[in-house]
Structure 1
Amino acid sequence: MEIATATADDIPELVELLCILFAQEAEFTPDVEAHTRALSTIIANPDIGVILVAKNQERVVGMVNLLFTVSTALGERVGLVEDMVVLPTWRGTGVGSHLLSRAVDKARECGCRRLTLLTDADNHAAHKFYERHGFVLSEMVPFRLAVA
């Protein structure tokens, strides 16, 4: 298995992974067109972020999305970990740990001072996974507003 930066050629397999992820998340539903548009934008604009993929014999088996922004509190670049998903048949094999570890390394390489991520409140397996990798529960509470 190798971890690599996603390319436009990976988009169809990434869309499949996002459909798996969003089918299990409470606030989202799969939307192939939206996923394709977003993935294309991120891949074409490395200043926005980077998508890392885990591949086994050229087949994408997992992905993680690292998006960049600037924290006014820190005065520096920070990252948002999104779309962490592994094919169900590959879960429990270490793929997720490898992806997350590489995302943390990439964040450091890109000058990020902090990483933040969101999970569903009832996704206790994900909470334990991220805690095992050094993430701690924040006192911040997310709010959303659709503006379009």
Structure 2
Amino acid sequence: MPLTIRPAQEQDLPGLLALYAEMHPDDEPLDAEHARQTWQHIAAQQGRTVLVADTDAELAGTVDCVILPYLTRRAQPIMLVENVVVAAEHQRRGVGRALLRRAVELADEAGCYKVHLLSDLGDPEVNAFYSACGFQPIAQGWRRYLR
């Protein structure tokens, strides 16, 4: 399976939405116009890159990367990684590892001193995967959902 890791483009929206539906199957689907407008907002954000794993036939996975400027640590930025999704039929084939490798490369190229990855704690296999990709569970986080 040829696999290309690249920045997402607007024409990738149907594939991205399908991946997000796998991650959150209970969410109502976005209508096409709302998705397009939201994508345009995302694409315009400086320092934000949504990566996709493209098999030439379909999107196998995605990761959302945001570089945040900081005034601490000698003003070195950090990267926040969210929405790591690999389609069920492509799991355990190196797709997630390739996406995270590219995300870390982008962070390094931007001069980031660390990469934050947020994940739910409930799945030991997911936690083992992130550890195998070089991430360490060294911080505790909190969430406050507004909706």
User: Quick check: TM above 0.5?
Assistant: yes
Task: Tell me the alpha carbon deviations over residues 101-133 of structure 1, each in whole angstroms, 9 at most, x when there is no partner.
Answer: 011101111222111111112121111011011
The answer for the alignment partner of 1:62 in structure 2 is 61
The answer for the alignment partner of 1:40 in structure 2 is 40
The answer for the alignment partner of 1:111 in structure 2 is 111
Give the ranges of 4+ consecutive aligned residues of structure 1 lying more than 6 Å apart after TM superposition.
none
**Superposition map of 1:1-148 within 5 A:** 1-23=3-25, 29-33=27-31, 37-45=37-45, 47-74=46-73, 75-144=75-144, 146=146
TM normalised by structure 1 equals: 0.84
- Counting matched residue pairs gives 142
Q: Which amino acid aligns with 1:115?
A: V
Distance 1:145-1:55 versus aligned 2 partners, 3 A rule: closer
Instruction: Give percent identity, aligned residues only.
Output: 27
Supply the distance in 2 between the matched residues of 1:2 and 1:131 (Cα, whole angstroms): 23
Supply the distance in 1 between the matched residues of 2:50 and 2:114 (Cα, whole angstroms): 17
Supply the distance in 2 between the matched residues of 1:142 and 1:79 (Cα, whole angstroms): 18
Distance 1:36-1:135 versus aligned 2 partners, 3 A rule: farther
- Which residues of structure 2 form unaligned runs of 5+? none
SS in 1 for 2:100: helix
Worse overlay, 86-95 or 137-146: 137-146
Distance 1:72-1:138 versus aligned 2 partners, 3 A rule: farther
Q: How far off is 1:94 after superposition? A: 0.6
Distance 1:21-1:126 versus aligned 2 partners, 3 A rule: same
Q: Which amino acid aligns with 1:113?
A: Y
Q: How far off is 1:91 after superposition? A: 0.4
- Which residues of structure 1 form unaligned runs of 5+? none
Distance 1:61-1:145 versus aligned 2 partners, 3 A rule: closer
Supply the distance in 1 between the matched residues of 2:124 and 2:28 (Cα, whole angstroms): 22
Considering only aligned residues, what root-mean-square deviation do their CA atoms show, in Å?
A: 2.1
